[in-house]
């Protein structure tokens, strides 16, 4: 977890007063395909996609159940 950032995909949402959270995949393989002709859904490693989705789901659940606390 780190404060700030968010990237180009969710950055425009900053002014909407909500929680922004992003998943940072292992960059060792991420940019082998990202924004290239090979950047297709079939190139995604299914296990890694499922693990990333599970981690984001757990984060949403925990924030919903326990809140964000005070900064």
Domain count, the chain: 1
Q: Identify the helix (H) or strand (E) that includes residue 47.
A: helix 46-66
Whether 6 contacts 20, CB under 8 Å: yes
Confirm whether 51 is domain-assigned: yes
Residue 65: give the domain boundaries. 33-71
Q: What is the pLDDT of residues 41-53, one digit of tens each?
A: 888 888 888 998 9
Confirm whether 25 is domain-assigned: no
Confirm whether 7 is domain-assigned: no
Put simply, whether the predicted model's pTM sits higher than 0.75 gets the answer no
Confirm whether 41 is domain-assigned: yes
Average pLDDT over residues 58-69: 90
Confirm whether 28 is domain-assigned: no
CA 59 to chain centre: 11
Confirm whether 12 is domain-assigned: no
Confirm whether 26 is domain-assigned: no
């Amino acid at each position: 977890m780190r404060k700030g950032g968010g990237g180009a995909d969710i950055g425009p949402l900053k002014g909407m007063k909500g929680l922004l959270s992003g998943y940072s995949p292992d960059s060792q393989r991420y940019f082998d395909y990202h924004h290239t002709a090979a950047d297709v859904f079939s190139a995604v490693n299914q296990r890694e996609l499922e693990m990333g989705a599970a981690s984001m789901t757990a984060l949403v659940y925990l924030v919903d159940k326990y809140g964000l606390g005070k900064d």
